[in-house]
């Protein structure tokens, strides 16, 4: 495979795992910051005419990691790389894909424009928060699903009294995929977000009495939605044996403390966002998306379709 894989400072372990599965060395680059915080990148090997894959999540610190990625793209463009693909396992700013009230930005579109102007010719991400934002790109944007990885893990622990729970109406389609894959019922929570930013669960749509919930979401950020969802499920009669599943374990603020709720028996995330040692707790399980990303790189570098990476062609 005549390709090069480089990474920024966000996901070096994941990038190394992807490179190992492809039998490629991780590209050598010099990444440093000047005293005023400006990032500087220099490639230490030629990329002229080659396919280049740049792996970097825009996870916290979001702006720093995003700027690193933009500078790496610009560096490869000026080094005459053949094709530049930005692999962004976790796409920050994806929740700012529309105007909820007046005088707000659509920052997800801005980030798409920045990536394109910098020189990316394709973007690959995993479980983007708002799939419709693929329309923001004038270049190809692929949002790979992590659901098959998570469902395969959950199948080994599935019990007859389990039920999939979507924490809001917006995640109902994702929850339905898990319910179909696990062959168990789906329950949907009706959630409102108050002006203060706090979450309030209005009602539980579906039967949870005596059942063990599996709450499915695309990310765990501060953990507020999960916290309120667990409270609502227990009040509705669910068993205090809740499993929480999400692709992106961002885990900021006091999210870890919220996940240590005694009613939560396991929290399952992927490595799209690196979890630092101090945020790892006994109930946390981290699954890797390295095989998924490696197969995507393999297929793209060979000009083959990546449709097979989507369940049932979706």
Give me the active site residues, please.
191
* Inter-residue contact 145 to 310 (CB < 8 Å): yes
How far is C-alpha 152 from the geometric centre of its chain's CA atoms? Answer: 18
Q: String of b and e for 236-272 (b: at least 16 CB within 10 Å)?
A: bebbeebbbbbbbbbbeeebbebbebeebebbbbbbb
The radius of gyration computed from the CA coordinates of the chain, to the nearest angstrom, equals 20
* Inter-residue contact 224 to 215 (CB < 8 Å): no
Residue 222: CB partners within 8 Å, gap ≥ 6?
Answer: 252, 253, 254, 255, 258
Give the H or E element holding residue 290. helix 290-301
Give the H or E element holding residue 306. none
Structure tokens at 223: 């953990």
Please spell the DSSP secondary structure of 10-62, one letter per residue: S-HHHHHHHHHHHT-PBPPEEEEE-TTS-EEEEESS--BTSEEEEE----SSH
In angstroms, the CA 55 to CA 292 distance is 13
Residue 235: CB partners within 8 Å, gap ≥ 6?
Answer: none
From 81, 2, 84, select the one nearest 47 (Cα to Cα).
Answer: 81
Q: How far is CA 250 from CA 162, 164, 232, 292, in A?
A: 26, 22, 23, 20
């Amino acid at each position: 495979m005549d390709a090069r894989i480089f990474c920024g400072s966000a996901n070096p372990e994941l990038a190394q795992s992807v490179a190992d599965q492809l039998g490629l060395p991780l590209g050598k680059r010099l990444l440093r910051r000047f005293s005023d915080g400006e990032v500087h990148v220099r490639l230490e090997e030629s990329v002229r005419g080659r396919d280049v894959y740049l792996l970097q999540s825009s996870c916290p610190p979001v702006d720093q990691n995003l700027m690193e990625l933009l500078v790496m793209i610009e560096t490869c463009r000026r080094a005459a790389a053949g094709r530049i693909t930005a692999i962004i396992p976790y796409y920050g700013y994806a929740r700012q894909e529309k105007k909820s009230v007046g005088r707000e930005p659509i920052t997800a579109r801005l980030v798409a424009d920045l990536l394109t102007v910098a020189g990316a010719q394709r973007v690959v991400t995993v479980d983007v928060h708002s799939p419709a934002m693929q329309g923001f790109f004038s270049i190809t944007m692929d949002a790979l699903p992590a659901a098959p990885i998570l469902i395969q893990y959950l199948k080994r622990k599935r019990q007859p009294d389990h039920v999939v729970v979507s924490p809001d109406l917006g995640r109902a389609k994702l929850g339905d995929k898990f319910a179909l894959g696990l062959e168990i019922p789906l329950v949907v929570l009706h959630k409102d977000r108050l002006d203060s930013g706090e979450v309030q669960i209005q009602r539980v749509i579906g039967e949870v009495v005596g059942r063990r919930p599996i709450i499915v979401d695309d990310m765990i950020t501060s953990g507020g939605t999960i916290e309120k969802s667990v409270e609502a499920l227990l009040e509705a009669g669910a068993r205090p044996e809740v499993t929480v599943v999400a692709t992106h374990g961002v885990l900021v603020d006091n999210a870890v403390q919220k996940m240590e709720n005694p009613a939560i028996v396991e929290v399952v995330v992927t490595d799209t966002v690196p979890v630092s040692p101090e945020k790892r707790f006994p109930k946390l399980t981290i699954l890797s998306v390295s095989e998924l990303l490696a197969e995507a790189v393999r297929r793209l570098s060979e000009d083959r379709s990546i449709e097979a990476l989507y369940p049932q062609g979706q």
